[in-house]
């Protein structure tokens, strides 16, 4: 089952409850990816998500890493702890295989390498949510208008933005498919039928400080 169109709307990083200085692209991309496959889950405010990530907001820009995302998702949604993957320096071909299989991604990109209409005035390092709806790749940029629809993007344009990021390779949080997510719904008739993901076979260790989101020569998005 592909990710449904109706759950791929935009959560805006400037307007989300508790947003401060527009440095929350990482968490809003996480939440858009989560909501796309598990729309029944309660969504946290910015302070709540930062607390779960162990990354409180400070004066100025407070970056968020893929490790922060993984920590927050596992803390807030323990039922997903075994069905998310943190991928660093992965191949783009593998990214596309997972995306086409129905896994939404919270994906690190360089905003300035996205098509002009998908940049929303920001050209630095960024995080976006990406989905496949069965017909095309869709991107939800947390700088887009709140509650607007995700936008189509070609595979080539997506790869260009991924490759231009400061971190080598493809770097993202992978969420479960709709089927796996719904098996974790509290009213699922067979709650024992909850497949876990196998070990990724990819080195996901280390720190991604070089790719901290929302930082760029052009300054923070605003």
- pLDDT tens per residue, range 16-28: 998 876 788 999 9
Confidence of residue 222 (pLDDT cuts 50, 70, 90): very low
Lowest mean pLDDT among 40-44, 57-61, 84-88: 57-61
Provide the 10 A C-beta neighbour count for residue 192.
6
Confidence of residue 7 (pLDDT cuts 50, 70, 90): confident
* Order of all β-strands in the sheet with 137-140: 85-90, 170-174, 105-110, 125-132, 137-140, 151-152
pTM for this predicted structure: 0.84
Q: Closest Cα partner for 140 from 169, 125, 120, 160?
A: 120
Which domains are present in the chain? 5-185 (3.90.70.10)
Tell me what pLDDT residue 198 has: 41
Interacting residues of 210 by C-beta distance below 8 A, sequence separation 6+: 166, 167
Lowest mean pLDDT among 68-72, 73-77, 209-213: 209-213
179 within 8 A of 1, measured Cβ to Cβ: yes
Which residues sit opposite 139 in a β-bridge?
130, 151
Tell me what the mean pLDDT of segment 138-155 comes to: 95
Radius of gyration of the chain (CA): 16
The DSSP code sequence of 142-208 is TTSPTTPBPEE--HHHHHHHHHTSSSSSEEEEEPPPHHHHHTTSTT-S-TT--PPPPP--S---S--
Tell me what the mean pLDDT of segment 84-108 comes to: 96
Q: Please give the mean pLDDT across all residues of the chain.
A: 83
Percent pLDDT > 70 in the chain is: 81
Tell me what pLDDT residue 190 has: 67
- 212 pLDDT above the threshold of 50: no
- Half-sphere CA count of 207, side-chain side, radius 13 A: 5
Structure token pair of residue 37: 């496959």
What backbone phi and psi angles, to 5 degrees, belong to 118? Answer: -110, 5
Q: Could you tell me how far CA 84 lies from the centroid of its own chain?
A: 11
pLDDT tens digit sequence for 172-207 = 999 999 989 988 887 777 654 555 544 333 332 333
């Amino acid at each position: 089952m592909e990710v449904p169109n109706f759950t791929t709307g935009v959560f805006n990083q400037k307007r989300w409850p508790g947003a401060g200085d527009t440095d929350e692209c990482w968490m809003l991309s996480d939440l858009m990816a989560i909501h796309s496959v598990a729309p029944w889950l309660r969504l946290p405010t910015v302070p709540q998500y930062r607390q779960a990530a162990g990354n409180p907001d400070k004066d100025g820009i407070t970056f968020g890493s893929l490790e922060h995302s993984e920590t927050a998702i596992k803390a807030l949604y323990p039922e997903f702890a075994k069905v998310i993957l943190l991928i660093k320096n992965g191949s783009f071909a593998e990214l596309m295989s997972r995306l086409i299989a129905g896994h939404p991604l919270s994906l690190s990109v360089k905003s300035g390498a996205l098509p002009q209409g998908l940049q929303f005035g920001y050209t630095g390092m960024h995080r976006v949510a990406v989905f496949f709806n069965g017909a095309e790749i869709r991107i939800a940029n947390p700088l887009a208008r709140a509650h607007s629809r995700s936008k189509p993007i070609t595979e080539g344009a997506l790869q260009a933005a991924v490759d231009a990021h400061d971190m080598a390779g493809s770097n993202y949080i992978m969420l479960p498919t709709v089927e796996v997510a719904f098996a974790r719904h509290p009213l699922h008739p067979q709650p024992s039928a909850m497949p876990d993901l196998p070990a990724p076979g990819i080195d996901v260790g280390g720190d991604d400080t070089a790719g901290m989101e929302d930082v760029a020569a052009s300054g923070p998005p605003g």
